[in-house]
């Protein structure tokens, strides 16, 4: 392996570890939700606010993060992210009141928001475009290991050493890792010095340029539709659903949630390799996944009596887990259809999609659980999780609309003699107005 390639891989390896930590912190409440409810004396709606706040902050920070990465470079942004995540988790470790716990998760959400876009910008600048999809998928898959650590191992730590020690150690280690990031990560491309005279109009123009690109808009809806359901289950409602509605033990529920992670770890590289070799299959793969996901939810929520057999739960969660790998297709779209100087901003715009969907669905499930609580946990969860189906149907509709519009833009560019990232064949349905 040549020295530049080894250097690029070393930079990526150091950076991807902080993304792994970010996913760990983001999903840590998934298996600690019952302990959090006891510690802060919370009902379902208030407990859901932890995740809604954290993910809402994450979503709001995506476009600013993209602008910061394009302006200051990913190394500085990643270093700041590690410090913020560490401080947020340390505060969560000692928090005993609900407002202080909310503040801790908000700080954590800001730091988390700054990681993935930064890592993908490093990939875009250190590696050729043809390797971007593969490495983006590997990044997401390795980051998913953080989710794996936050399932069974975190459950064991919470049971043995307690809340404060578990979260304090995790926060302190993350904050210290900022030193490694500052010393080992290099941006890989010249980053302009901050311009104090840069106007708000020019900043907004950067965002508008990304949003006006059909490929970016398609990426937004792909991300919105694919990642939210498995993430929402892993972040918050999957564990109580399995324990309270399906009658599983807590260790068994933790193991089943681990399937969501294993599916992403295994599926990520496979999806990345497939779309790297056959980029024209990117959106068809997304549409196939979304159709299958609707089928899974129909089975889980429509099962007679509400008590779903274990093997059916395993198969359903395994299929839903592929939403994470499918969501990385959105970033390949952002990379292909935007100039490099705008990739950070476009990636941030795309990344908003999934986390908006998580915020909406998690909040809706919490509110519906509170409303239907008198009906019993099994019926309450069946009705509350219908919110997931509604969000999924909306995302499928918008993805199909922007798929056709993005294809039309590619055909128009090819007709003008411009170079296009992907060669596609015109289909009969392309002739219909979008």
Of 72-86, 260-274, 310-324, 360-374, the least confident:
260-274
**Average pLDDT of span 264-271:** 84
- How much is the pLDDT for 197? 46
Q: pLDDT class for 432, splitting at 50, 70, 90?
A: low
Q: Name every residue whose Cβ is closer than 8 Å to that of residue 299 and which is 6 or more positions away in sequence.
A: 308, 312, 316
The answer to whether the Cα torsion of 111, 13, 207, 326 is positive or negative is negative
Q: Which tops the pLDDT comparison, 156 or 17?
A: 17
Query: How sure is the predictor about 193, in pLDDT bands with cuts at 50, 70 and 90?
Result: very low
- Read off the pLDDT of residues 71-94 as tens digits, 9 standing for 90 and up: 888 999 999 999 999 999 999 999
Q: Could you tell me which of 433, 434, 404, 410 has the C-alpha nearest to residue 422?
A: 410
pLDDT digits (tens, 9 = 90+) for 316-337: 999 999 998 899 899 888 888 8
CA dihedral over 300, 402, 434, 411, signed as positive or negative: negative
Q: Which residue has the tokens 């596609």?
A: 424
Average pLDDT over residues 31-52: 80
Check: pTM over 0.75? Answer yes or no: yes
- Binning pLDDT at 50, 70 and 90, where does residue 194 land? very low
DSSP-based three-state secondary structure for 188:
coil
- DSSP conformation class of 279: G
Q: Is residue 267 part of a domain?
A: yes
Say if residue 146's pLDDT is above 80: no
Tokens of 214: 């059909």
237 assigned to some structural domain = yes
Beta strands in 268-427 (DSSP E): none
User: Which two tokens mark 248?
Assistant: 């599983």
Number of domains making up the chain: 1
Question: Contact at 8 Å (CB) between 393 and 280?
Answer: no
Q: Is residue 341 part of a domain?
A: yes
> Does the structure show a pLDDT above 90 at 125?
no
Q: How far apart are CA 385 and CA 394, in angstroms?
A: 15
CATH code of 50's domain: 1.20.1250.20
pLDDT at residue 416 is higher than 80: no
Average pLDDT in the chain: 85
Kindly indicate the confidence band of residue 434, based on its pLDDT and cuts at 50, 70 and 90: very low
Q: Would 197 be classed as within a structural domain?
A: no
DSSP category for residue 245: I
Q: Evaluate whether residue 428 is within a structural domain.
A: no
The verdict on residue 195 lying in a domain is no
Phi-psi sector, 427: left (phi>0), alpha (psi -120 to 50), beta? beta
Q: pLDDT-based confidence at 131, cuts 50/70/90?
A: confident
Query: By residue range, what is the domain housing residue 356?
Result: 3-185+207-420
Query: Average pLDDT, stretch 32-36?
Result: 81
pLDDT of residue 335: 82
Residue 58, domain member (yes or no): yes
- The strand ranges marked E within 291-399 are none
Rounded Cα distance between 322 and 232, Å, is 14
Is residue 194 domain-resident?
no
Q: What's the DSSP call for residue 213?
A: S
């Amino acid at each position: 392996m040549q020295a530049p390639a080894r250097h690029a891989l070393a930079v990526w390896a150091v950076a991807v570890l902080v993304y792994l930590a970010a996913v760990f912190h983001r999903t840590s409440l998934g298996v600690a939700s019952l302990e959090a409810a006891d510690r802060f004396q919370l009902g379902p709606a208030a407990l859901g606010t932890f995740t809604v706040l954290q993910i809402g902050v994450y979503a709001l920070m995506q476009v600013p993060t993209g602008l910061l990465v394009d302006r200051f470079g990913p190394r500085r942004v990643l270093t700041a992210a590690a410090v913020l995540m560490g401080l947020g988790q340390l505060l969560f470790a000692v928090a005993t009141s609900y407002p202080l716990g909310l503040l801790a998760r908000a700080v954590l959400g800001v730091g988390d928001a700054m990681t993935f876009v930064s890592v993908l910008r490093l990939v875009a600048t250190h590696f050729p475009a043809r390797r971007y999809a593969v490495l983006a998928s590997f990044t997401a898959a390795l980051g998913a290991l953080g989710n794996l650590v936050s399932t069974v191992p975190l459950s064991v730590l919470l049971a043995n050493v307690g809340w404060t020690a578990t979260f304090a150690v995790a926060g302190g280690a993350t904050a210290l890792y900022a030193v490694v990031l500052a010393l080992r990560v290099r941006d890989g491309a010249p980053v302009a010095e901050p311009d104090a005279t840069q106007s708000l109009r020019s900043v907004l123009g950067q965002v508008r340029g990304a949003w006006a690109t059909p490929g970016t808009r398609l990426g937004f809806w792909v991300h919105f539709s694919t990642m939210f359901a498995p993430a929402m289950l892993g972040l918050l409602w999957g564990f109580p659903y399995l324990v309270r509605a399906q009658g599983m033990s807590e260790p068994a529920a933790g193991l089943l949630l681990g399937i969501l992670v294993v599916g992403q770890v295994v599926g990520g590289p496979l999806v990345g390799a497939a779309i790297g070799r056959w980029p024209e299959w990117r959106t068809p793969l997304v549409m196939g996944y979304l159709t299958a996901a609707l089928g899974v939810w129909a089975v889980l929520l429509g099962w007679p009596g509400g008590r779903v057999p274990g093997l059916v739960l395993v198969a359903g969660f395994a299929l839903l887990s592929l939403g994470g790998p499918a969501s990385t297709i959105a970033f390949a779209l952002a990379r292909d259809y935007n100039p490099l100087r705008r990739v950070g901003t476009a990636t941030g715009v795309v990344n908003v999609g999934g986390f908006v969907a998580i915020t909406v669905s998690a909040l809706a499930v919490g509110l519906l659980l509170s409303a239907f609580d008198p009906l019993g946990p099994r019926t309450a969860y069946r009705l509350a999780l219908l919110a997931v189906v509604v969000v999924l149907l909306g995302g499928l509709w918008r993805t199909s609309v922007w798929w056709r519009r993005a294809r039309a833009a590619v055909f128009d560019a090819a007709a003008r003699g411009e170079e296009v990232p992907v060669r596609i064949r015109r289909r009969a349905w392309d002739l219909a107005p979008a």
